[in-house]
Every structure is written in structure tokens, then in C-alpha cells.
Copies of this chain bind each other. A is one copy, B any other.
Amino acid sequence: MNTKNNFPLAVIGTVAIDGIETPFGKRERAFGGSASYFSYAASFFTPVSLVAVVGNDFPSEFRKILEERPIDLSHLERSSGKTFFWRGKYEFDLNTAHTLETELNVLTDFSPKLHFETPPEFLFLANIDPVLQEKVLDQAGKPKACFVACDTMNFWIERKRKELLRVLARVDAIVINDGEARQLAEEPNLIRAAQKIHSWGPAQVIIKKGEHGVLVFAGGRFFALPAYPLETLFDPTGAGDSFAGAMMGYLAKTQDLGFENLKRAVALGAVVASFTVEDFSLDRLRRLDLRQIEERLEIFRRICSF
């Protein structure tokens, strides 16, 4: 692999303004979006390139948050119009996000154009229209050494199944939540669901189960980790994207796709996600450093081993 690439990892996804309501508080215009969480989490491990679009209402203080970190913004387009907006509410149990409002805005006509000098070896297609995921795949190509992972959601599984299956046939890994894995595979047993999704393309199937941890099928074998036990879950928004960001960031940093290294990457994903949910938006990640991540990883290791 070309280790001279300054940005060995890229993500395509959303940069959003979120309206969030949890039992603990409310924030009217929070910085959000799958690519924002992903790239911030990944940046603890490796420089990352963010491919997304924002509107001309996008606050400069949000852009500055990304600029704090080794995040390349040369593919962050600015279009006339409003930034993608999502409004969600979490009930008492915090397990399910209820979408109250989605305004696609500048996402409607977004057509990502990649102009990397050296294409990234690691690419994450965050939750976005599979048609856009395909466009990025067409442009990024899939160099021999490149590792591509994708996410998706119920909305696309229901509406663009055919396009989504085309994407799956071209990726190395899928990172998906448990409900969506069951829905995609039409199979309630998660073990069998993972194997079925694997048969459609991805060598690695990574199923996020929220408070129940993560289940991974890779190299013909399974492994599973519980979630980091958190007493104070404040705002679950971005947990899945931070998980994927830290996992991919660590894989890109270590350039090792072996089973044991994937385990460590997944554990780091779980740890970084456990920080994300301790505060609104990217607030907790902004107060986070590698030492804190490593400390919690060590506690997590002790929690899981017997």
C-alpha cells in the first residue's frame, strides 16, 4: 500500500445540522451528520478526507471544529441552498431515534466529484443514497489494496434495495445495525443474517447492536464484543458513525486487515462510540484524547476477558 498518502482514509457521507431532543435536554442546531462523526472519530488514528456537501448556511464555527483535526476538507463542497437538516427525538430508553423531520436540502442534487492525487486506500461509504455510494465507488475505483466499507439504513433497504445490493457486491465490509441487518437479510437470526449478507459480497459483516455491543463475521468466523458499560448515556446520535470512524481509522493506521487486528479496531470503535454518547453532538469527542481512549480500552479489555 502507498503509505505516502497524506490521507489514507476517505469518507463520503452527510455533514448535517441536527435538531436533537433527549430526555436530558434539547439542542436546536447541533453539528451532526454521518461523515462529521466518522471523520472526527477516525482522526484520532489517521488523517482522513471528508467528502460531503454543505449549504451556504453552514456555520463557520462547525467548519472550524473539523479544522481542529487532521481532516482534509478539500472535498467538502459548498452549494447554494441549505445544509442537510435532521430533527430527531429520543424517548426515555434512548434506544430508538424517532425522526421528526428530514430536509435533504443541498443533498438533493449532490453528485460527489473526487479529485484525489493519490486515491485513499481505505474508503467508507457512510449512510447515504446507494446511488451516491456507487458514484464514489466508480470514481475511487477499487485499487487492489483498497479496503472499502459501507453503511446503510432501513430507508434505502426499503426503497433502493437493488442499488444497495450492487454496492454490497463491490465492498469489502459492511457496518450495519442489528435491526437493519435482519431487515436486509430477511432473517431474524443475526448469525444467519450475517452469513447471508456475506454471501452477497462483503468479506466482513460488522453488526452494531447499540447497548448490546457488536457482532462480527470475518474470515469465516465470528467474534462478538459487548458494549462498553455506560451509566450515563446522554445523546446516542453519532454512536454508529463514530464506531465506524474509529474502526476504519485504526485499520488505515495499522494497514493490517487480519482477524486479530480487526478485533482491536472494533474494540476501539466501541470505546470511541462510548465517549460520543456522553454529550451532545461532537462535544465529548472534542474533549477526548488518545490517552483517554487507551485507558478506557484497557478497562474494556478487562471487562471482556475471562
**Residues of chain A whose beta carbon lies under 8 Å from any beta carbon of chain B:** 92-95, 188-192, 195, 209, 211-213, 215, 222-227, 229-231, 233, 260, 263-264, 266-267, 301-306
Selected contact of A304 from candidates B227, B230, B305, CB within 8 Å = B305
Q: Is the CB of B231 within 8 A of A192?
A: yes
- Which residues on B sit within 8 Å (CB–CB) of A212? 209, 212-213
Min CB gap A65→B, angstroms:
29
* Majority DSSP secondary structure for residues of A touching B: mixed
- Which residues on B sit within 8 Å (CB–CB) of A94? 188-189
Q: Is the CB of B223 within 8 A of A303?
A: yes
Selected contact of A213 from candidates B224, B263, B267, CB within 8 Å = B224
CB-nearest residue of chain B to A305: B305
Q: Do A266 and B231 form a contact, CB below 8 Å, given A212-B213, A225-B226?
A: no
- Which residues on B sit within 8 Å (CB–CB) of A306? 223, 225, 260, 263-264, 266-267, 301, 304
Q: Bound state CA distance, A206 and B48, in angstroms?
A: 41
- Which residues on B sit within 8 Å (CB–CB) of A302? 223
Q: Do A303 and B188 form a contact, CB below 8 Å, given A209-B212, A213-B212?
A: no
CB-nearest residue of chain B to A190: B211
Q: Bound state CA distance, A195 and B232, in angstroms?
A: 13
Q: Is the CB of A188 within 8 A of B93?
A: yes
Q: Which interface residue of A94, A212, A260 has the most chain B CB atoms within 10 A?
A: A212
Q: Which interface residue of A192, A212, A229, A306 has the most chain B CB atoms within 10 A?
A: A306
Q: List 6 A-B pairs, minimum CB-CB distance, nearest first.
A: A224-B226, A93-B188, A212-B212, A263-B306, A222-B229, A267-B306
Q: Is the CB of A222 within 8 A of B189?
A: no
CB-nearest residue of chain B to A209: B212
- Which residues on B sit within 8 Å (CB–CB) of A231? 189, 191-192, 195
Min CB gap A48→B, angstroms:
23
- Which residues on B sit within 8 Å (CB–CB) of A211? 190
Min CB gap A19→B, angstroms:
23
Q: Do A233 and B189 form a contact, CB below 8 Å, given A212-B212, A224-B213, A226-B224?
A: yes
Q: Bound state CA distance, A306 and B227, in angstroms?
A: 14
Q: Bound state CA distance, A227 and B207, in angstroms?
A: 14
Min CB gap A239→B, angstroms:
15
Q: List 18 extra interface pairs beyond A213-B213, A224-B304, A304-B304, CB under 8 A.
A: A93-B188, A94-B189, A190-B211, A192-B231, A213-B224, A215-B229, A222-B303, A223-B304, A223-B306, A224-B226, A224-B227, A224-B229, A225-B304, A260-B306, A264-B306, A267-B306, A304-B305, A305-B305
